[in-house]
Structure 1
Amino acid sequence: MAATEHPLVTVTSQLNAICDQTLANLNADSLDVGIENLQQVLLQRQALLDNWNREPIKGFVELNQQVQKKMERIFAHTAEQVRSVREKQVASKAYRQQADVQGSFFDSRE
């Protein structure tokens, strides 16, 4: 009889595969899909972690460390993208405000 894999290892393996796929697509449009999938599997994994009695699970610690490193890279990249978008929005808003001020100056001279 084959030993069955612990559910935490199964879910963490799924998370690992999603991380690999997301890392491969970091600059692609599909990044949002990867993040959404990550969030769903993270919720499943958290439920299993909450109910885990902390008995050792073969291979879990190593796999979990790999997943954590990958998620850190993904979320650091995502945070950088958000920061970049915000900087562009702020720059664009400042430009529009400056244009509005200049426009109102010329309107008042007519």
Structure 2
Amino acid sequence: MRGRLRRCIGLLLLALPSVASAQALPDASAAGAVFQRMQQLCAADDGKAWGVSLCGPVLLVDPASRQFVASIDGADTALERDGPVFRGRLPDNVPVANTAVGWNGRT
């Protein structure tokens, strides 16, 4: 079970409130700071809270436009670099939800 959870919990989609795209996603600097803080907290927890590490790639997605900010580049297809983060549009066949999903060569 732990091995399966480790594979499944990697890419966390955080659905943001449905507002205008220009206002929904943070700028590159703010998103980079959020991703850095998330990594610090995750490393400090070291899997204690859930029994497995939740560290992994993160997407912040605006569900209305499907535009996202990512913590790392895509594996299969490169994403648009914006300072410390990556941007793009999530394909229609990828669910927007607070869960782990597989997309662009990553989980």
Q: Which structure is larger by alpha-carbon Rg, 1 or 2?
A: 1
More strand by share: 2
Same fold judged by TM-score > 0.5? no
